[in-house]
Structure 1
Amino acid sequence: MIKKTLLCSAIVAATAMTSLAHAEVKLGFLGGFTGPIESLAPPIYQGAQLAISQINEQGGILGGQTLTISSADTTCTDASAAINAADRMINTENVVAIVGALCSGATIAAANNVAVPAGVVMVSPASTSPAIAEINDNDLVFRTTPSDSYQGEVLARLLLSKGIKEVVVTYVNNDYGQGLANAFSATYEAEGGFIAANAAHEDGKADYRSELGSLASSGVDNLLVLAYADTSGQTILRQAYESGNFTQYIGADGMVGDALVNAVGADVLEGMIATRPGKPDIPGTEAYAEAARAIGMDPNAVFASQAYDAAFLLALAIEKNGSAERAGLNEALRAVALPPGEVILPGEWEKAVQLLAEGKEINYEGAAGTQDFDERGNVPGVIEEMVVRDGSFQTVGLIE
């Protein structure tokens, strides 16, 4: 009887060990896979998946468990879709934390209605609206990309430095467009620029000729479009060209994608100026670029490096927290992202796990920047100038 009891205990223990070895720790990804950024979303998701694959190749998380990531579509512009996607991730998939959302309105909707009430950390790689910092989030909402309050200022000064002293502006009527337009306008006008017309537009329409006619009536031929490459931004640029009223096209991060150039025409957009969050010249950026190139991924894909950092940071925070529990993850996230501590670069998962096991502090220096969160979950960042040249968006350089 004693032998049988011992045998049963051994079987139970072995089963438990096998179960632990095959256990999963799950992250969620909220992306705009359909809608106005559908051509931008897949490379962003691929950036997060790259981080996950490196972690699993280096032994997994929490003592050998597999880290996985599930995705859901917010559509970018539909608050209900964003809420439903977050609800599925948090309450059905039972994810520990979320990478995302991408579009600012989706992040705000998901955070306010689902994630914050459930105590779930969100790290967005692409939500740039200044309104993100105003969420009453209980220190649960972070981002790995700089706020548009900074990008708008930089874009304004870039145009002025090029002698573009008057523009007309149209922006998509949501948190992203409004925040970026406000930041741009304040700096541009304060520093001597003239905005001849400034008008919101609704996303997803088939015809913007009326709006373009109003803008063109000012006589200014420099058109700044703060919108999305796959929907209103694309349609506006195509119809602006057809009108013959504009000669210089300008955009920001939501417009940067070769799908836009292909749809509107390389000859039409040749010389278009744009800005987007960039990557500083630090060791982490090259470590990420090498890993991305090794799997055939474009290391310069917009917001992909930020998604990598979001996923890697959340994994580090889970490891630091010592469990797949949601409680305490925000404090652990700050602990692994901020100095002091031994620097961890992209891909250095085994090194980080060893240091944490030894009770040492670590400081992640990422693919897209240092990722030093401030009290509102914002990070410092750099902005790079883009230009359409020879049929694609090309990087001119970081803007000082």
Structure 2
Amino acid sequence: MSKSTSLLAAVALVVTGGVALADDTKVGILMDITGPIASFIPPLQNAANLAVNQANEQGGLLDGKAIAVFGDTTGSAQGAVDAAGKLVNIENVPIIMGSLMSGTTIAAAEAVAIPAGVVQISPTATSPAITDIEDNDLMYRIVPSDNYQGEVLAKMVLEAGNKEVAVTYVNNDYGVGIGQTFIEAYKAAGGKITSAVKHEEKKDSYRSELATLSQAGGSALVVIAYAGDSGGKIVKQSIEGGLFTNFIGTDGLRDEALINDIGAEALATSFFSSPTSPADNPNQGTLHELYNAAYGEGADKAFVDQTYDATFLTLLAIQKAGSTDRAAMAAALRSVASAPGEKVGPGEWAKARKLLMDGKDIDYDGAGGSYDFDKNGDVSGYIGKFVVDGNSYKQTEVMQ
């Protein structure tokens, strides 16, 4: 972890990009910098900063510079409310990129952003509950709902020859959403759930839950949780107890911290689902070249594409609105993300800025694909299948 990243992880709110001048615009970046997904964060901070830096190097935002203001949710609901409150009420940001976890995204939206009339766009929050929030058109995300990922995962599990599996999912917005969707879809497609156990976060031992799951049998254990919390512990304790050797996980478990803790050999027969980009998307290659040129490596890490795209869309929305008027952000965001309009992609800030200043429409297609929001602020998308490859993950399949 770099020195700058360490500083970000140590405080709840950090402003990057120097001292803000009168014409500069602060942009809220809400992330779970500390907490159960902390190991995901450094490359995602880089992705957000890359988008901001490109805007500043290619003409700036509105009449000045973009200033990224990071808020740390600490991976908790109260932390999300506190961090979002600072962004909205103290930093006076016009729009927020984030948060990442479903629970922190929902907490920040319901307690702070929606009451204040501030648009939030999450790059990674997947809970189905987000779809039905009464948000006054203020809540957006650029990954598909877990209602979709659960169905795709069920297909992946059956296609891999697993006709009977045990399932455990964490008792939070993320785990319950995808866990229940997966179970229903898997059973409807002919699979058998030998045992399904909902577990709590932040426990030291899950051996009791694992005993129940193991006794019921199954060719694999499906674990829907975060590797930095219960998910990693469950996999490790299962291996230590000789209970399961084959694991299937979702994006929360597709964390290199799991490989570092468990070892690649022990995960050789496991696979993981995660939102991804279209396989033939040239904009992904463009972003990865730009990202690695700036940071040396890391473009292939989980959710780099989506975090960059969400930040770039946030900046485009402000530029389209022509001001920091919060009430103008939702319409501006929808406009820059969808047709009609001239296509712009990652790194093309100068092109997009000129088109917008000339009064023309743009349509941003990102590294993660195109983002046409429905009435709920949701998008369709792609789910990838990932396997462990050395000390990282390799995508082997993409499903739309």
- With the shorter chain as reference, the TM-score category is over 0.9
Tell me how far apart the structure 2 counterparts of residues 283 and 372 of structure 1 sit (CA, whole Å). Answer: 18
Q: AA paired with 1:141?
A: M
Name the counterpart of 1:345.
345
Shift of 1:293: 1.6
- Specify the SS of the correspondent of 2:67: strand
Shift of 1:42: 2.0
Larger radius of gyration: 1
Tell me how far apart the structure 1 counterparts of residues 316 and 144 of structure 2 sit (CA, whole Å). Answer: 21
Shift of 1:21: 7.3
Pairing 1:130-279 to 2, within 5 Å after superposition: 130-279=128-277
Pairing 1:71-150 to 2, within 5 Å after superposition: 71-76=70-75, 78-150=76-148
Q: AA paired with 1:164?
A: N
Tell me how far apart the structure 1 counterparts of residues 332 and 283 of structure 2 sit (CA, whole Å). Answer: 21
Name the counterpart of 2:292.
293
Name the counterpart of 1:282.
281
Q: Report the RMSD for the aligned CA atoms in angstroms.
A: 1.5
Name the counterpart of 2:366.
366
The answer to whether the 8 Å contact 1:252/1:275 transfers is yes
Shift of 1:22: 6.0
The answer to whether the 8 Å contact 2:251/2:275 transfers is yes
The answer to whether the 8 Å contact 1:270/1:390 transfers is no
Tell me how far apart the structure 1 counterparts of residues 207 and 95 of structure 2 sit (CA, whole Å). Answer: 43
Tell me how far apart the structure 2 counterparts of residues 184 and 349 of structure 1 sit (CA, whole Å). Answer: 39
Name the counterpart of 2:314.
314
Q: AA paired with 1:337?
A: A
Shift of 1:397: 2.6
Tell me how far apart the structure 2 counterparts of residues 347 and 199 of structure 1 sit (CA, whole Å). Answer: 45
- Specify the SS of the correspondent of 1:244: coil
- Specify the SS of the correspondent of 2:39: coil
Name the counterpart of 2:398.
398
Tell me how far apart the structure 2 counterparts of residues 373 and 147 of structure 1 sit (CA, whole Å). Answer: 12
The answer to whether the 8 Å contact 1:271/1:389 transfers is no
- Specify the SS of the correspondent of 2:28: strand
The answer to whether the 8 Å contact 2:166/2:194 transfers is yes
The answer to whether the 8 Å contact 1:167/1:196 transfers is yes
- Specify the SS of the correspondent of 1:98: strand
Pair 1:237–1:20, CA change in 2 (3 A): closer
Shift of 1:31: 1.2
Q: Name the % identity.
A: 47
Tell me how far apart the structure 2 counterparts of residues 222 and 367 of structure 1 sit (CA, whole Å). Answer: 33
**Per-residue CA shift, 1:193-246, capped at 9, x if unaligned?**
001111111111110000000101102241110000111111111100011121
1:46 paired to 2:46: yes
Tell me how far apart the structure 1 counterparts of residues 263 and 364 of structure 2 sit (CA, whole Å). Answer: 41
The answer to whether the 8 Å contact 1:102/1:125 transfers is yes
The answer to whether the 8 Å contact 1:222/1:249 transfers is yes
- Specify the SS of the correspondent of 1:41: helix
**Per-residue CA shift, 1:297-339, capped at 9, x if unaligned?**
4222111211111111111111111112212110010011110
The answer to whether the 8 Å contact 1:130/1:149 transfers is yes
For structure 1, the residue ranges without an aligned partner over 5 or more in a row are 1-18
- The aligned length equals 380
Q: AA paired with 2:51?
A: A
Shift of 1:257: 1.5
The answer to whether the 8 Å contact 2:171/2:201 transfers is yes
Pair 1:20–1:34, CA change in 2 (3 A): closer
Name the counterpart of 2:8.
none
**Structure 1 residue ranges, 4+ long, deviating more than 4 angstroms after superposition:** 19-22
- Specify the SS of the correspondent of 2:79: helix
